[in-house]
Structure 1
Amino acid sequence: MASSTARPRTQDDRPPGGDVARRLLDSAAKLAYDPAVEVDWETPLDKRFHGASPEWSTLYGTAYWDEMTEEQRRELTRQEAASVACTGIWFEMILQQMVLRDIYTKDPTGAEVQWALTEIADECRHSIMFARGAAKLEAPPYRPHRFALELGRAFKTLAFGEVAYAAILVAEEVLDVMQRDWMRDERVVPFVRTINNIHVVEESRHMKFARDETRRRLAGAGPLRRRINALVIAIASYVIVTSMVNRKVYANAGLDERRAVREAKANEHHKAMMRSSCSGLMEFLASARLLTGPALVFYKRAHLI
């Protein structure tokens, strides 16, 4: 009679991506943060500081920026940083649902599922951290516009495989570059610098996994599937990036909203900052053959390329 005891998992039995997941689990065990403890939530907001590096403001380099007082500039960057944080919460909620759905039927004793659960736990802490950070910046709870919210609702329900992981990668990579600047900038209020440092360190693991999963899921994909998914990823990227700064930040900073929106849309400096921040991401998407002609239309509209 055959033994009823399950045999040990061998190297050949392990799911693809398991080696990467095991290394990321080891990394998370060695270096992880608790924002409730690490971030200084008690010290009152010091309004002598910016909320983000001024060069990342959507109005930096415009005629309007030149007319603003230093106080207005600092208030604007605080409102913009809060808007980016709120958009981050929105997408992290989408991310968590996609990852949970992806691992729903997989082996929970495997490293891949355990890493996915670790990533979800990270994102829960990040969302709370961003929410508390936005509140401390004295900003309202910014939300993407209704159309983006409904597209997100559909995307989190329908996206799977390389579409889900590549979209996750886009959102994380765009945030990563700007936050690396903010966390080193002494003009930025200290508690925001701490938030950015925590996010950069922990998201570096998430980006590694997203890149690995995107490559793995695309292995053997036919040309039609690749073209369709490239377009879906590009549309999702466009919605994410264009939702980062809510137009209400300008009025809340005491500015003329219509003029600010008009000048922000024409701001070549900010467009150049976005393109430079996404050079590595675009190289990856190109190597994965996801920069098709139709996809490029949306990346160019979002000023990512």
Structure 2
Amino acid sequence: MENTKINVLVVEDNPGDYLLIEDHLNEKFNHLVIDHCADYQSVLTRLDSGKDSSVILLDLNLPDFDGMALVESVQKKSEGVPIIILTGYSDIKIAKESLSKGISDFLIKDDITAENLYKAIVYAIERKKFLCEQQKSKVVYQHLFNFTPQPLWLYDAETLQFLDVNEAAVRKYGYSKEEFLSMTIREIRPKNELKALEKQLTKSEEERQQDFAGLYTHTLKSGENIQVEIHSGDMEYNGRRARIVLSNDITDKLTHLKTIEEQNKKLKKIAWTQSHIVRAPISRILGILNLIEMITEDSDDLSFLLSQLRVSTNEMDTIVRDIVNESQLINLENYEND
């Protein structure tokens, strides 16, 4: 992939973030064309120009458009070009929603490295190639099964029996190929989700869905549950109606986002504690000082000591206020790299 020419459209309004992404791209790709758009209107102009893009790196928040509305609009206008969301927000809800709508990946800006950006782009481009080939020919290429790094399998659309699986599926799920071929897709789903599976299958049949994507829970042979992003499509296999499924384990990513949200809640609690508990004794000290100052007895030493005590207490109060303000700014749920 390093020697393959790719065209990357980077949609990012923050100059610093764009330069960092540009450096990461140039580090990993030898034949690279980068187009940069800083707002939604320029994105529309670029997409309407007819110029090809291999992948789109999309900031979730632009000055003139943002959120899922932005994602859906760019997705529609780009006509199938893989999209990777780059955002300063650690919002697991948006992550799940965007992935379930067919977005290739979701990366948090603070966590982006040249390596994981490269992997995300390569995976998005290769997956797009695969889906295009599958849509055009509906034929399983054996080398795709052998070399695709993501779990891939075929199952009978009527019996739900596995018809073929690749080595990546064997490694990830823990079953041998022979074991897979004696199973149905029900056996890799948690028992409490079997009704939902049947409902989804019935809906697909009734609506004649040729392709669909979504987030699901799968169960490994070890009994461990993982969260996976699924892309599936209809095809014919040895004269039988079948479905081909590409599975991507996103458990670690979702766990990471959940951890960030929990950390965000703890930081908010710290800010509240500092504001309401730490400052309470300071307020009492200041009140006592006010009472002492009301004493009419003339004493230069007392006045000096009181003045120094007041200066120190005010300084402490200012420091605590600054800490509180800084803590309140650390809001990972609404964090922006601007």
TM-score by length of 2: 0.20
Larger relative contact order (CA 8 Å, sep ≥ 6)? 1
Structure showing greater Rg: 2
